[in-house]
Amino acid sequence: MSKRVIFDFDISFTNGGGIQGQEFRLDIGGESISDQDLADYIVWDMRLLMVGKVKIINKRYIAEEHKRSPISLAQGEELIDLSHTVFDGLVTYKGLPAPVICDYLTREQSKEIYDKGATVQIGRIDMVANTGTYIDCPFHFFEEGMDLSEVPLTAFTGLDGITIEARGVMEIGVDFFKNKEIRNKAVLVHSGWATNWNTEAYFTDHPYLTKEAAEYLRECSVKLVGIDSHNIDDTRGKTRPVHYTLLGADILIVEHMCNLDMLPAAGYTFHAVPPKIKGMGTFPVRAYAKVGR
C-alpha cells in the first residue's frame, strides 16, 4: 500500500504574518520524509515568498492510495555530479605529480587560538592544475589566449547540454556528431572510459576525438566539449590537434569526467566553474548537470 504523510504546519513570513494548516495529507514515495524536506516542499508547492520559520507539527504516516504523484524533493530538477573525487596521492596523468593534501592548521592546534570547545581545520593542498576533473581554457595552449580569470562566467555555466554516445570506440570521428543539434551546446562525449578511473588501464589506449571531429565541432560553433576519458586527444604521439583546434576557437574542454551514463540525450544544462585565477589555463572543477527545468 502507498504511504501518505499527515501533518500540521505553522509558517511565518519575514515581512510579518503567517499561515497555518491542519491535517494536511501528501503522497510520499518512500516510507518517511524529514521535517526539513517536508517544509521545503510545501513552501515550493504553495509558491510562497518571504518565508521565515516553518514548523511541522503532529507528523504521522498512513497507508493510503496516492491521490497524485508522490512528492519530488528535487522539485522538478536533479543535479548529476560529473566530477571525480580528488584525494591525496591521486594520479590523474602519468608523469605529473599527485596532489599532497594535508592540514595547515590541525583541530588540536586550533584549540589554542579559539574559544573553548571550538575547533577548526585549515587545509593545504599542493597539486598541479591538471588534477581530477578539470577544465582547459585557451591559455593552456596559447600564450595570448584567455586564462581562467579572463573567460566570462557565461562560458562555464548554464550551457545547454547534449550527450554523445560513443562507448566501445577508441577513435571518435565526425560521424558521431552529425545529425545532432550541437550548435552553441556543451557537447559531452560518453566513451565509458571512466570505469577505468584510478587504474593502470585508464592511461593507455583510451578513447579520443579525431582532428576532423574537432574541426567539425568548431565549424558548428559548440561552446564546450567534455569527455570521460584520459584525454580528448590521442596521447600516443606528441601532437594535440583537438586541443589546438578547440582552444584556438575559444571552445573550452573538460576532461576526466564521470557519470555521463546518468545523463539524458539532451534537455539539461551543464556547469563547470573553476576559481578565478590569473595566469593559469587549467584547473579542477566540480562539473555537474542540471536535469529538468
- Work out whether strand 3-13 and strand 51-63 pair parallel, antiparallel, or are unpaired: antiparallel
Query: Is the pTM here over 0.85, yes or no?
Result: no
Residue type, 228: D
Average pLDDT over residues 157-167: 97
- Work out the pLDDT band at 30, boundaries 50, 70, 90: confident
Confidence (pLDDT) at 197: 98
Higher-confidence residue: 68 or 251? 251
Tally of residues, the chain: 293
Share of the chain above pLDDT 90, in %: 86
Strands (E), the chain: 3-13, 18-28, 51-63, 78-81, 100-105, 122-126, 134-136, 159-165, 171-172, 186-190, 208-209, 224-227, 252-255, 266-271, 282-284, 288-291
Which homologous superfamily is 134-291 in?
Putative cyclase (3.50.30.50)
Q: Do 243 and 253 contact (CB within 8 A), yes or no? A: yes
Q: pLDDT tens-digit profile of 52-105?
A: 999 999 999 998 887 776 666 555 578 999 999 999 999 999 999 999 999 999
Contact of 34 with 69, CB cutoff 8 Å = no
pLDDT at 32: 87
- Mean pLDDT for the stretch of residues 216-221: 96
Distance CA 270, CA 162 (A): 9
Which pLDDT score is estimated for 292? 77
User: In the numeric block, which cell numbers belong to residue 237?
Assistant: 604521439
* pLDDT tops 80 at residue 159: yes
pLDDT at 27: 87
Q: Identify the pLDDT of residue 132.
A: 98
- Contact, 232 vs 140, CB < 8 A? no
Asked if residues 135 and 254 have their Cβ atoms less than 8 Å apart, the reply is yes
140-151: average pLDDT: 98
pLDDT reading at 293 higher than 80: no
